[in-house]
């Protein structure tokens, strides 16, 4: 399944890149296929490994402040693999044109 | 922490209430404090019990179709309890007026 | 259509109730049917009036800080009215039991 | 401001790529800076032009079915430009390593 998540520490200033960096170090070290986007991080895997990863990221963010808002979107589809690459590719085939990625 | 989640089975018709009913039966039986809203379900608890509950709901929805989109929002704040009641109450105090709930 | 939205000012402290109060005053004054939930505000109406309302709330929040994260979920279904009450009621009928609201 | 959105037609089958293709044609033709990700589309611009674009995409999706769920996340930060490129770059500088994108 595909999961996108975004972790927002509240009340520690309006620049969050140092905190997002800590989160992305954890994701990068996980070995799971991922993509860092301007609005979140997309990771592909199974429920338990993905939620364990996001818990670790969320708990890390909680260390630096009193409040964290985390949003998660899950797209789970039976019998499909490598959707982190194939979903956009499948749309490009339908359009007949490469999209900006 | 507070969590709101919404589970959408894709491709099994545009009426989802029978599927949402299965999800809310599970939430209601969990014994955790919750509120059913027109756009999702809010539950209060700790990370592991909440994510275990949502996993159960998501897996139940996957039984009836090929694809499920689940969205989760987490609001985690240190040292606060009974936020499922207190958050709106605290806003009402600031406004000096009861809100529609 | 039904819309749920949540407005989070970033970097102005971890208590947000005063800012949420400003947002809910605007919603309450709009005359549109709404429900304040622990994780956001649900409003029913048409696209233009709803998005105009949320723009006003978002711009108000931007006055008090440098950064605001706003999330919006829209559930649009043809030919259905009063869904702000009927969606949960329809699930309750399927379960045969009143839910916590 | 940056906006990510995702449009899910409900009840027209579990493959959505043909519908997503219609949405991305509209985004691509808008001339606004965007990125197609596996979980949504990120676009940069001002409130009115972005919400007008998403309205057009949502209304197009409503033509092919009875129900559409659209989710939108907005990250609005004063005085920052080209954040569609700079946000991830800023995190990469903090980590000292290129991320997967």
Give A63-84 pLDDT, tens digit per residue.
988 999 999 999 999 999 999 9
Three-state DSSP at A85 gives: helix
- The string of DSSP letters for chain C reads -EEEEEEEEESS-S--HHHHHHHHHHHHHH-S-EEEETTEEEEES-HHHHHHHHHHHHHHHHHT-SEEEEEEEEEEETT---HHHHHHHHHHHHHTSPPP-
pLDDT the model gives residue B75: 98
CA distance, residue C87 to nearest chain A CA (Å): 22
Q: Please, which residues have CB within 8 angstroms of residue B7's CB and are 6 or more apart in sequence? A: B19, B20, B23, B57, B58, B61, B68, B69, B70
CA distance, residue A28 to nearest chain B CA (Å): 22
pLDDT the model gives residue D96: 95
With 0.95 as the threshold, say if the pTM is over it: yes
Question: How, if at all, do strands C40-44 and B67-77 pair?
Answer: unpaired
Band of residue B33 on the pLDDT scale cut at 50, 70, 90:
very high
**Which residues, in sequence order, are bridge partners of residue B34?**
B43
Distance separating alpha carbons of residues C73 and B4, to the nearest angstrom? 12
**Which residues, in sequence order, are bridge partners of residue B36?**
B41
pLDDT the model gives residue A7: 97
Q: Please, which residues have CB within 8 angstroms of residue A67's CB and are 6 or more apart in sequence? A: A9, A10, A11, B75, B76, B77, B78, C14
Give A39-55 pLDDT, tens digit per residue.
999 999 999 999 999 99
pLDDT the model gives residue C96: 95
Give D84-101 pLDDT, tens digit per residue.
999 999 999 999 999 999
**Which residues, in sequence order, are bridge partners of residue C43?**
C3, C34
Task: Determine whether the interchain pair A14/C14 forms a contact, defined as Cβ–Cβ distance below 8 Å.
Answer: no
Q: Rounded mean pLDDT of chain D?
A: 96
The Cα-based distances of A17 to C16, D44, D92 in angstroms read: 21, 18, 9
Looking at the partner chain, which of C11, C15, C16 has a beta carbon nearest the beta carbon of A14?
A: C11
Distance separating alpha carbons of residues C71 and C61, to the nearest angstrom? 13
β-sheet with C2-10: strand ranges across? C34-37, C40-44, C2-10, C67-77, D67-77, D2-10, D40-44, D34-37
Band of residue B11 on the pLDDT scale cut at 50, 70, 90:
confident
Task: Give ∠ CA A61-A66-A67 in degrees, rounded to 5.
Answer: 70
Q: Please, which residues have CB within 8 angstroms of residue C24's CB and are 6 or more apart in sequence? A: B91, B95, B99, C36, C41
Query: ipTM strictly over 0.90?
Result: yes
Give C37-61 pLDDT, tens digit per residue.
999 999 999 999 999 999 999 999 9
CA distance, residue A49 to nearest chain D CA (Å): 19
The Cα-based distances of B34 to B72, C63, D9 in angstroms read: 14, 33, 28
**pLDDT, average across residues C22-31:** 97
Task: Determine whether the interchain pair A11/C12 forms a contact, defined as Cβ–Cβ distance below 8 Å.
Answer: yes
Band of residue B39 on the pLDDT scale cut at 50, 70, 90:
very high
With a cut of 90, say whether residue A14 has pLDDT above it: no
Distance separating alpha carbons of residues D57 and C82, to the nearest angstrom? 25
The Cα-based distances of A86 to A31, A65, D39, D98 in angstroms read: 19, 37, 12, 22
CA distance, residue C46 to nearest chain B CA (Å): 16
Give C63-79 pLDDT, tens digit per residue.
988 999 999 999 999 99
Radius of gyration of chain A (CA): 15
**pLDDT, average across residues B71-80:** 96
Phi, psi angle pair for A69, to nearest 5°: -110, 120
pLDDT the model gives residue B60: 97
> Any idea which of A87-91, B64-68, C34-38, D92-96 has the lowest mean pLDDT?
B64-68
- Burial per residue of C30-57, b for 16 or more beta-carbon CB atoms within 10 angstroms, e otherwise: bebbbbbbbbbbbbbbebeebbebbeeb
Q: Rounded mean pLDDT of chain C?
A: 96
**Which residues, in sequence order, are bridge partners of residue B6?**
B71
Task: Determine whether the interchain pair D91/A28 forms a contact, defined as Cβ–Cβ distance below 8 Å.
Answer: no
pLDDT the model gives residue C65: 87
Q: Which residues of B touch C6 (CB under 8 A)?
A: 73
Task: Determine whether the interchain pair B8/D8 forms a contact, defined as Cβ–Cβ distance below 8 Å.
Answer: yes
Chain A interface test: which of D2, D25, D38 (most A C-beta within 10 Å) = D38
pLDDT the model gives residue A13: 86
Residues of chain D where predicted confidence (pLDDT) is lower than 50: none
Task: Give ∠ CA D73-A86-D50 in degrees, rounded to 5.
Answer: 25
């Amino acid at each position: 399944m595909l999961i996108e998540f975004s972790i927002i520490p509240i009340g520690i200033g309006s620049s969050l890149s140092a905190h997002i960096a800590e989160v992305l170090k954890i994701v990068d070290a996980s070995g799971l296929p991922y993509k860092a986007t301007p609005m979140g991080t997309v990771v592909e895997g199974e429920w338990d490994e993905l939620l364990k990863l996001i818990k670790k990221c969320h708990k890390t963010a909680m260390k630096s402040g009193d409040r964290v808002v985390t949003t998660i979107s899950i797209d789970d589809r039976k019998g499909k693999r490598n959707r982190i690459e194939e979903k956009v590719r499948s749309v490009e085939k339908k359009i007949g044109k490469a999209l900006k990625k």
